[in-house]
Structure 1
Amino acid sequence: MSSLVTIRRCATLPEALVCKSLLEAAGIHAAVENYYHASNDWLLIPGLQGVSVAVPSTDYDAAKRLIIDAAEAGPDALGAEFGAYQKPRRYGVAALWYMILHQLGIALFVLMYLFYGVILLLRAVLPEIWFRAKPSPSGRDWIPEVSAGNFNPIIAADWNAEGFLFVFFVILVFMADRLIKPKADIEDDAE
C-alpha cells in the first residue's frame, strides 16, 4: 500500500470535490482530506490551509499531468459545451458609490431631501386640493421627518408622494442598463 501525497490544496470544498472527481474519472484514486471538517464548518477551511486532495504516491506524476492538462484544456472544453465566454457586464462607479452611501444611510437622507424639494416645487405648481391629506394624529405636517440612522426612522401616517417617487426611483435604478442601451445591444436570455 502506497502512502498518500497531497497533490493540490483548494480554497473551497466544491473545488476539491471537482478535482477529486476528475482524478477518479481517469482511474486515479483520490481522497479529500479534512472533508468532514470542511463540510460541517466551512469557516475552518482557511485554518486548515485549504482543502487538500491527496493521491497515492505511485500515481502522483500521472495525476499532476492530468490536472495540468485539464486546466489548460478547460476553457476550450467549456467554450465547446456552453459557447464562447462572454465578459460579464461591469457596473459603473456610480453604482458602487450609491451602494456605499446607501449602506452608510447618507443616500436615503439625500434622496428624501431631494424628494422633499420636488414635492415643494409640485406644491407650488399644482392645485392645493391635490395635496390635502387626512390630519395626522400626531399633529405633524403630512411630509415625513427625514433623518440618517436607525434611531429615528421615517415617520409617515398615510400613503404619500415620497413613497411612490422612491419606488419609481428604485425601479429606474434597476432598469437603467436597459434604458441606456439600445434594444439591439440587449441579448435575449431566453434564446
Structure 2
Amino acid sequence: MTSTETGRAQVVNAADELFYARGIQAVGMDELRSSAGISLKRMYSLFPSKTAIVAEVLRGRTQQWNDGIDAEAAAHESPRDKLLSIFDFLDHWFREDDFRGCAFINSFGELGATMPEVADAAHQHKKNFIDYVTRLAVEAGCAPAVGLQIALLAEGAQTTAAITELAESATAAKAAAKVLLDSSAGQIDR
C-alpha cells in the first residue's frame, strides 16, 4: 500500500468511526485530522474537502453492506432463503455494541438537503438494495412488488432498531417477510 493509500485509509477509517458515532456536522476537520493521526495539510492533500471524505466513507459503507449481505446469502441455496438471510444479517448487526442505525439514513437526514453527494449516495445505495431484493423475490416466484415490500421491512427494521434499541426488530421483520413470501409465491402474474 502506498503512503497515499495508507493516508486515505487512515482518514476514511477515522471519519467513518466519528461520523457514525456522532454525526457528520459534529465532527470538525481538526478532530478528524487528530483521530487519523495526520497533519491537516496532509489530509487536505488527500481529500480536497469534507464532502469528499463523506463520499468516500459512504462508498466504504456500501461495500461493507454488500459484503455482509453477500456473505449471509452465500450460506443459502434458494432465493427465498437468501432473501430471509438479509434479516439474519440485520439481527447480527443490530446486536453490535456500536450500532447506531443506517449510516445512509443518518447522513441523508443530517445533510441530504444541503449536500447533494450524500443524497446521491443514499439514493443509489437504497435503490441498489431494492433491486437486489426484487431480483431475489422474482427468482422466488413472487411479483416484483414483493421485492419492494421486503426491502421496506428491512429498512423499517433498521430504523426501529436504531431508535428503540430493540435488536429483535430483525426477527419480527423476518417473520413478516416469511408471511409475505408464503402468500405471494407462485403468484407472479398479480
Q: Is TM-score (shorter-chain normalized) higher than 0.5? A: no
Report the structure, 1 or 2, having the larger helix content: 2
Normalising by the smaller structure, the TM-score range is: under 0.3
Of the two structures, which has the highest relative contact order with CA contacts closer than 8 Å and spacing of 6 or more? 2
Greater per-residue strand proportion: 1
Larger Rg: 1
